[in-house]
Structure 1
Amino acid sequence: MFGLMHQMVSFWVRARVPSPVFFISSLLLSSVTQSLSHLSNLLQSHAALPQPASVWFGRPNSLYRLSDLSLLVSLISLSLSHTHTRSSLCSVESLPLYAGDHIAPTPSLSRVVDFPLVSHNQSHTGGDSPYKRTTYRYSPLLAFLLIPNTIIHRSWGKFLFSASDLLVGLFIRSILKLRRVPENLCTYSVMIWLLNPFTFTIGTRGNCEPIVCAVILWIIICLMNGNVLQAAFWYGLVVHFRIYPIIYALPIILILDSNFFHSGRKPFLSYWTAGHGKTTQSSTDVTYHCNMQNVLTKIFTRQRVMFGLVSAIVFFSFTGLFFYLYGWAFLHEALLYHLTRTDPRHNFSVYFYHIYLQYENEISVLEKLISFLPQFVVQLVLISCFAQDFPFCFFVQTVAFVAFNKVITAQYFVWFFCLLPLILPWSSMKLKWEGICCFFVWMGAQIHWLMWGYMLEFKGKNVFLQLWMASLVFLAANTLVLIMIIRHHRYSPVFRHLEFESSKNSVKLE
């Protein structure tokens, strides 16, 4: 069905548009229809799964029902609260399109964001450009997705983000099943996301992060299935939509190696095993390190060039289109703002106090470089160590990126929460002494910071220095937890060497 629809639309587009536009449109249609077809098969296979005779929480369908119920209760309670209350920062009634609050650690950073209709024929109050609202700093794609807020229901965005929340759970399960993780471990891992009150509260309050998480997990599924073209399309789109996934570019390029990806052949996956501790170095590891040494001479493989070209075409096509429609306002607010953002308001970052003190003075290039350097060095080290185990690499990259960022708000934690279930089956750190300690260290550092934030925000006390000290404690807590997770992780490359698999199969035939 999806293939027939793609052919019909492609024929219509070919007859009416120039060839460059046709190429981009065809790429878009092909990727979307193939992804929809794959997703349809994924949903059908999930519905056909036999239910294990275990406890109620161990059944996947029951797990999803419980998650649905939690999301529904959260949606109803938040809708009722917004019906009877109004934000002190912006009246909900004045917003032409309302999608909910965007989470931040303190009320001074909380904000209500509207997504106006994108039409130049309407006035600003009707909603022509989303960038006429100063707090809108996202791609216009988000505004288009939320147009039904004025047509269907004002909570359309919340239901869309909540559905994406459930889709993330399905994708987590699919990734783990591709690597043959046992059913009970799959269920417990999915529970970490679906029953996490932090994550579903973010989505039901109107934050778009679950959509980004779903796309990133879909990219992982595409790579594991050998669909490099689809992965490239969605990667270019998600970087345009939310720029932070650009940090995953280098590990993706590194895993698109000819030793794992060969024309016309699906890559071989390494499967979960019940062993503990670190895996021994195999021929796959040796090959990888050789590739790292010769990366300059072997970087231009067919898969890497195709991924780079397609993702770049998609990114620049959407960026160019919206630049044509909205001009420099789009380019600055949606992209450049996030690269140069300096927020003087208090947030979890250790840099907030320095930015606050120097806000009226221009920050020098040297200071910006010094603040960026730790992030850059940590990213390179993590990528060089864990690129082959790329779900784990994505996770540690994201935690480090958030911890060392110049601005940290609570919604950023969702970025690595969606990746956490993917690494749990390979961790020897159980929910006992070490696991509980890591949980309480991380939560305790947050609560400690929020206590000083409350004193500053609500009590009006001059506790900026104490709040900055709390930010240092929070950075130390993130670093400690990240080190503990790395120490207890059982390194497991996702792909196996094609030559190794071929030789193994030949031995079996003999």
Structure 2
Amino acid sequence: MILASLLRPLRSFRCVLLFSILIRIGLIIYSEWHDSRSVVKYTDIDYRVFSDAAHFLLNPGPENENVAQGPLKSLLGWKISLGNPYTRETYRYTPLLALLVSPNDWSHPSFGKYLFALCDIVNGILIYKLLVNVILPSSSHNAASQPPNKTEKHASGPQHKRDELSRTEIEALATTFSAIHLLNPMVFSISTRGSSESVLSLFVLMTLYASLTKRWDAAAIMLGVSTHWKIYPVVYGVACVSALSGGSVGSTSWHLSLVNQKTIRFALLSAFTFGILNVVCFLIWGHPFLEETYLYHLHRLDHRHNFSPYFYFTYLTYPPLVKQPLDSESLSSWNQLMRSPLTSFVPQMTLALGAGLYYGHRIDDLPFAWFVQTVVFVNFNKVCTSQYFLWYLLLLPLILPRFHVSRRQAFTYVGVWIALQAFWLGEAYRLEFLGEDVFLSLWMRGLVYVLGNCWVLVELMKAYS
């Protein structure tokens, strides 16, 4: 009774929205107080990197010191009064991010945090709008048109009701599902600490919103923007092409239907948007932009402990001999294999693109297709940290209405997902804080984590309606 009375005010989306805004503002104010008094900072180190990059961007140095060195300067002789954000070591993002948080330098140091928190809120609103206007009405209508089945009494979710939901019921369910994002501690803690993931999430949701409402030109443009910001959303393009093709998966002519006027237009417009943003950035900032934003991630070797199944092999072959070519006789075949981007890239992209083609052939299934693609991409990435989980948790509220699971199954899946992380973190604590040599056992727990996540994903694929 007490719990029900506490949750009753949150049944209104406005109340959820207001509560989530207050949480974020409170945490940002707290972060300023905490950081000024504690050696261990609340603010993420990445936020300091963003702020420093913004400072370098706005304050070019004399002559060639901290000056944008793109072709516009050398070929055309144009004087560009912009600095080089990559003067800040470890800044490996698009220059547009440094430009976005530039008010940190001349307005208020926490401007970026408020901006990232605002993107969080807008993401929650987009999730709510998608649920109310597209996903829940579609799920309700599809369920109402299906005959009852024997497992209906064990199922949960609006798709298993025999009658279509009313507007009031849809709004109530949308509020509940969107609260999973807006009131998620992992989401609001990461944005208020200064991580920029919410900006990318906004671009991804705008792409999905345009796709589900069949505004394909807008979707293509936003996909190009998303991919420029961070490269992984490129896999969503395959699911969009599959949805646009209109073909039936498994038919003999399905692969031929992937190439038509609509899919070609979508691909070209998306590629053009991605290309024009990169060309502009390259013309201004030159090779450092390409190296730090894209090329670095291809040859990146991160030997620090993380969830990736590849981390231990990278650790064993670290540090890389940067000055020697990969085909040097001094490098063993094993080292070459571990340092090759293809080792992780091939299985990762094969699974991600295949999932997009298979699950994306119906527009209504795009959220689930993107979810499966993202989980696979994160699980089999050569570097995997907790921050990457936000990439697929963003899509979770949008696909929950389509799952046909019992409460027991739902708690099992959530429990396994949390337990796997706790299982890994227990060993990571021994390595990070106690200094014990547990690299091998930590990697073995990482393998258990990957296998467990794959099991949860397969069960969700079975349960998806």
TM-score tier by shorter-chain length is: 0.7 to 0.9
Identity %: 34
Which structure 2 residues correspond to residues 201-280 of structure 1 after superposition, within 5 A? 201-257=189-245, 259=246
Unpaired runs of 5+ residues, structure 2, are 1-6, 68-81, 137-169, 321-325, 327-334
Supply the distance in 1 between the matched residues of 2:265 and 2:346 (Cα, whole angstroms): 30
1:143 to 2:115 alignment: no
- On the 8 A contact 2:128/2:174 being kept in 1, the answer is yes
What residue in structure 1 maps to residue 454 of structure 2?
A: 479
Letter matched to residue 437 of structure 1: T
**Does residue 339 of structure 2 align to residue 364 of structure 1?**
no
Match of 1:189 in 2: 177
CA deviation after TM superposition for structure 1 residue 296, in Å: 5.0
Residue 14 of structure 2 is aligned to residue 61 of structure 1: yes
Distance in 1 of aligned mates of 2:353 and 2:231: 18
User: Is the 8 Å Cα contact of residues 113 and 135 (structure 1) preserved in structure 2?
Assistant: no
Quote the offset at 1:73 in angstroms: 2.2
Deviation (angstroms), 1:379 = 1.9
Q: Normalized against structure 1, the TM-score is what?
A: 0.72
Distance 1:81 1:301, change over 3 A: same
Separation in structure 1 between the aligned mates of residue 405 and residue 45 of structure 2, nearest angstrom: 35
Counterpart-to-counterpart distance in 2, 1:459 and 1:62: 44
Match of 2:312 in 1: 353
For 2:194 and 2:428, locate their aligned partners in 1 and report how far apart those are by CA, in whole Å: 23
- 1:392 aligned residue: 368
Give distance in 2, aligned partners of 1:113 and 1:353.
33
Maintained 8 Å contact 2:44/2:193? yes
**Aligned counterpart for 1:115 among listed residues 29, 36, 53:** 53
Counterpart of 1:316?
275
Match of 1:449 among 424, 427, 432: 424
Give the match's secondary structure for 1:203: helix
Question: Cα 1:439–1:180, aligned 2, differ >3 Å: closer, same or farther?
Answer: closer
User: Residues of 1 paired with 2:408 and 2:258: CA distance?
Assistant: 44
1:396-428: CA deviation from partner (whole Å, max 9, x where unpaired): 110111011110112111101110001001112
Q: Look up the equivalent residue of 2:295 and give its one-letter code.
A: L
Query: Contact 1:75–1:204 at 8 Å: present in 2 too?
Result: yes
> Corresponding residue for 2:386?
410
Segments of 5+ residues of structure 1 without an aligned counterpart are 1-53, 93-98, 104-109, 260-286, 491-510
Other structure's SS at 1:350 match: coil
Distance across 1 between alignment mates of 2:393 and 2:383: 18
Instruction: Give yes or no for contact 2:53–2:85 (8 Å, CA) kept in 1.
Output: yes
What aligned pairs does 1:292-307 form with structure 2 within 5 A after superposition?
A: 293-307=252-266
- Whether the 8 Å CA contact 1:100–1:158 is kept in 2: the answer is no
Number of aligned positions between the proteins: 392
Deviations 1:61-98 (A, max 9, x none): 1111111122122212222222223469xxx9xxxxxx
Cα distance change on mapping 1:255 and 1:180 into 2, 3 Å: closer
Indicate how the Cα distance of structure 1 residues 320 and 365 shifts in structure 2: closer, same or farther if over 3 A, else same: farther
Task: Check the 8 A contact 2:31/2:193 in 1, yes or no.
Answer: yes
Q: Alpha-carbon deviation of 1:113?
A: 6.5
Change (3 A) 1:384 1:482: same
Could you state the TM-score of these two structures normalised by the residue count of structure 2? 0.79
Alignment of 1:26-65 (within 5 A): 55-65=8-18
Q: 1:369 to 1:121 in 2, by over 3 A?
A: closer
Matched residue type, 2:314: I
Q: CA deviation at 1:125?
A: 8.2
> Which residue number in structure 1 is paired with residue 78 of structure 2?
none
Partner of 2:37: 84
